[in-house]
Structure formats: C-alpha cells, structure tokens
Amino acid sequence: MTSAESDQELVDRAKNGDLKAFDLLVLKYQRRVFRLISRVIKNNSEVEDVAQECFIKAFRAIHQFRGDSAFYTWLYRIAVNTAKNYLFSKGKRPIALSELKKSEDSDSFDMLDAVSNENPEGNMAGLQIAEAVNKAVKKLPDELSAAVVLREMDGLSYEEIAEVMNCPIGTVRSRIFRAREAIAQELRPLLETQGNKRW
C-alpha cells in the first residue's frame, strides 16, 4: 500500500468518525507541519498554537477533502493559510518564502551535509556555494522563490506545487526553471569550470 493510499484510507475512516484514524494522520504529519509553520512564525509557543489550530481546521473540514490531491498537499495549504491568518490577526506581515531561514533539523539549500570534514578546502568551497545559493534565493521574486523552495526544500511534486500555489503546472515548471537559471547565474563565478552546469 502506498503512502497516498494509506492516507486515503485514514481519511475515509476519519470521515466516518474514527478519531484514532485522524490521530494517526496528525502523528504522521505533525513534524512537517510544525517545521513549515516555524518558517513563518518564529515564537515556538505560537507555532504550537497555530499547528493545533491547523489540525483542528483540517479535522472540521475533513469531509471536504475529495482526494483530488495528496492529503499532505491539502494539509499544507491549511497550515500556510492558518499561519498567514494568525500573523494578520496580530498585525504582522507574513514572511515571504524567500526570507525564510531553515531550522537546523530540516533540509536546506545550504548543502552543508555534502561538505566533507576531511577536506578543509572543500568545506570552504561548499560554504561559499551555500552562501551564494541562499543569496540568490533571497533575490528571487516571491513566486519564483516559493516554487523552488517547495520543490527543493519540501520535496513537493510539480502537481502538488501547482495545487499549493493555485496555478497551472506549466507555470510551476516555468517558475522553477527561471529560479534555477537565476541561481545558476549567481553560482557561475564560483564554479568557474562548471559554469555551464546547473546546481
């Protein structure tokens, strides 16, 4: 059974009043939802409150989930909207994805995991590349940075990104291509001999 089929079975059970099934969905996705919300809201106690509100909204709206997209894509949208609404209610400006800092336990553009401790020169080069990538992402327009962050950092498929961003899949492909090209342009001076390769 695939993860999507497993999710759909749990959703179907939750729709029929099985609270344990919904608890299993919460357990499966709570870490990802917390991590996502913590990129938008920096106060840990607020993150917990917003995450709880997100799951309450998801539970109340579970009958509206038709399965046209993956359950996590649907939950992701609820989490993003809940976090933005929370900031708005507090009179704060939502943080653009291009401004978000990654937490230490999550995936990152910084590529530090790829840096070898045995090679100091390689470490320095890796850190310079990581810094250049992060700077390049921050310079991107919001729609480009959001698309590439969802793809490269969150690992969403093009279809899921189209669902989250509410745009055609062709637009998603175009945005990711343009974002990658802009990042590659920033990296070319550092990569020298690999200037014609994408990161």
pLDDT at 124: 54
| Radius of gyration over every alpha carbon of the chain, rounded to an integer in angstroms | 19
pLDDT digits (tens, 9 = 90+) for 142-199: 788 888 888 887 778 888 888 888 889 999 999 999 998 888 888 777 766 444 444 4
pLDDT score at 81: 86
Instruction: Band the pLDDT of 4: cuts 50, 70, 90.
Output: low
pLDDT tens digits, residue range 8-27? 999 999 999 999 999 999 99
Length of the chain: 199
Domains of the chain: 3-89 (1.10.1740.10), 100-194 (1.10.10.10)
DSSP string, the chain: --HHHHHHHHHHHHHTT-HHHHHHHHHHHHHHHHHHHHHH---HHHHHHHHHHHHHHHHHTGGG--SSS-HHHHHHHHHHHHHHHHHHHTT-PPPPGGGPPPPTTS--TT-GGGS-TT-HHHHHHHHHHHHHHHHHHHHS-HHHHHHHHHHHTS---HHHHHHHHTS-HHHHHHHHHHHHHHHHHHHHHHHGGGTTS--
Q: Please give the pLDDT value at position 69.
A: 77
- pTM, full prediction: 0.55
Q: How confident is the model at residue 127 (pLDDT cuts 50, 70, 90)?
A: low
Q: What is the pLDDT of residue 2?
A: 67
User: pLDDT digit string (tens) for 49-108?
Assistant: 999 999 999 999 999 998 877 888 899 889 988 988 888 887 765 554 444 433 333 333
